[in-house]
Amino acid sequence: MNEQSKEKSSVFTLMMALLAACIAFQLNASMLSPVLVTIAKELGTNDAAVGLSQTSFFTAAALFSLFLPRLSDIKGRKKVLTFMLLIMTLGTILAALAPNIEVLYAARIIQGVSGPVVPLCLLMLSYEVKDAKQYGMLMGIITAVNGGIAGVDAIAGGLLATYFGFRSVFWVIAVVATISTYFVHRYAPESKPSAGTKMDWIGVLFIVLTIAALLLALNEAGNIGNANWFYVIGLTLFAIVCFMLFWHTEKRNKQPLVTIEHLKRRETWALLLTTTLTMTGIFAIVNGLVMSIAQNHEIGFGLDPDWASLIFLTPYALIGWFVGPFSGRLAPTMGYNKVLKLGLLGCIISILVIMFYGIHSLTILSICVIALGIFYAGMANIILNGLGIVLSPSSNPGFLPGMNAGAFNLGAGLSFALLPAIQMVNANTLTGYFNGILLGLIITILALLCSFLIPRPINAEL
């Protein structure tokens, strides 16, 4: 076997391992969406309590994303990813055996250790694949999984829950997670770009407390009329104090989690702000408002939940999975920033059409959601993830991807706190949906404007 064939073989086995890891994580995120009602019934609880288990998973995922990529730079990416997948597998088995909702909460928090799987996989890929075009295409394939397994995951989750109960879904995820753990351990190469560096655990503590407080405040604010606003304000103030302590700690530490100079760079704050605004503007439109009006029997289209998922979420994920590799392949030649701006502009046009025509027509609404699958899931989401890798400083490659993963989760929380709240001001009216989508449009326009501040990643482009 010649050198070129060996290289292709090693890239293929690496991709097989990384895709298995990403699929295992994504099943935890999306396969359970149609299963929540079944979980509530079988555990003898209510939908709100089960919904909190999802919040527990995504909150834990956001917090672990802040520091595990950096830890992997120091201790070894293969080692940390294997450990993450192993812990996730154990958490999944616990969820399958959960006798009550409290144990399910604990299981979902344990599964949240898998939060930074996608950025960690992209870091491992960038370390092994030096050709910009090849890396862009492979990055698109991996990141596209983050939008759903072509919609099959949600459908499979619903079918398994209907015929075999919710525990069967967790057992299937556990099998996939076990396989992915073996693949990563067996086929992924090791890399330690920051070997010998001391981990800044004090900085980790303060940044984790900052984001945790913000996410809890957002979750409480999402209750709108029933929210405890003193609790929200208190958590927000606590987050501000913790961030100030984090800033002070990083200035004094000789080996910080992230240097203040890195935080001040446009490569950092412009990307994190664009990611947060993009998620805030778009996420709850597709996953919240569109699904709500689709199932609304009084002023919407009165679809059953499974049909709403099949008509909207499945094509959205499928088209994103198809377009993603092409966006990644195009980024090094056309420019990462140009592809991002094109994606955001397409999102803005799609949201505009939903506002004025989609809320009145099921056909137009479904077409616009597919368009968002192209421009958001297949373009903007891919490039934002990719920029977290290519703009990260060489002295601390795991820092920006981890922070960016936190920005994705923070934006998702903001989206569900703000957009449905505006919609509920005029509850159960088309005006309410219009206003909620209008807020999403405004925030997405701000994301587009902010994207002009992101520096061009010259080293990753041809």
Question: Which is more confident, 162 or 388?
Answer: 388
1-15, 292-306, 315-329: lowest mean pLDDT where?
A: 1-15
**Model confidence pLDDT, tens digit, residues 322-353:** 898 899 889 999 999 999 999 999 999 999 99
The model's pLDDT over 232-271, given as tens digits with 9 standing for 90+, comes to 899 999 999 999 999 999 888 888 888 888 888 898 999 9
pLDDT digits (tens, 9 = 90+) for 172-211: 999 999 999 999 998 888 888 888 888 899 999 999 999 8
Residue 147 is predicted with a pLDDT of 61
- Mean pLDDT of the 46-72 span: 81
* Cα–Cα dist 52/112, whole Å: 13
Per the structure block, which two tokens stand in for 442?
């405004």
Q: What is the pTM assigned to this prediction?
A: 0.85
More confident residue, 66 or 416: 66
For residue 151, what pLDDT band results from cuts at 50, 70 and 90?
A: low
The per-residue pLDDT for 78 is 92
* Six token digits for residue 173: 């995820």
In this predicted structure, the answer to whether residue 436 has a pLDDT above a threshold of 80 is yes
The answer to whether 364 and 357 have CB atoms below 8 angstroms apart is yes
Dihedral, 325, 329, 330, 331 alpha carbons, nearest 10: 100
Asked whether 221 and 215 are in contact (CB, 8 A), the reply is no
Q: Which residue, among 153, 113, 137, 155, has the nearest Cα to 27 in the 3D structure?
A: 153
Which residue in the block uniquely carries the two structure tokens 């595990």?
68
pLDDT of 81 reads: 94
pLDDT value at residue 196: 83
**Rounded to whole angstroms, how far apart are CA atoms 170 and 164?**
11
Instruction: Give the H or E element holding residue 394.
Output: none
More confident residue, 441 or 295: 441
Q: Is the pLDDT of residue 50 over 80?
A: no
Dihedral sign for Cα atoms in the order 108, 109, 113, 115: positive
pLDDT at 361: 94
Weakest-pLDDT range from 121-135, 147-161, 248-262, 441-455: 147-161
Work out the mean pLDDT of the chain and round it to a whole number: 86
pLDDT number for residue 192:
87
Q: Which residue has the higher pLDDT, 67 or 223?
A: 67
Highest mean pLDDT among 167-181, 288-302, 423-437: 167-181
Q: What average pLDDT score do residues 432-454 get?
A: 95
pLDDT band, residue 9 (cuts 50/70/90) = low
CA 212 – CA 218 distance, rounded (Å): 10
pLDDT at 149: 61
Q: Which residue has the higher pLDDT, 412 or 301?
A: 301
pLDDT above 70 for 47: no
Report the pLDDT value the prediction gives residue 110, as an integer from 0 to 100.
94
Q: What pLDDT is attached to residue 221?
A: 76
Average pLDDT over residues 139-147: 78
What proportion of the chain, given as a percentage, has pLDDT over 90? 38
pLDDT per residue over 24-41, tens digit each? 888 887 777 667 778 888
Start-to-end CA distance of the chain, whole Å, equals: 30
Q: Encoding tokens for residue 424?
A: 């509920």
Average pLDDT over residues 208-229: 81
Q: Does residue 461 sit in helix, strand or coil?
A: coil
- CA dist 158 and 179 (Å) reads 22
Q: Is the per-residue pLDDT at 150 higher than 60? A: no
pLDDT reading at 3 higher than 60? no
pLDDT higher for 445 or 403? 445
pLDDT, position 296: 84
Please give the pLDDT value at position 33: 67
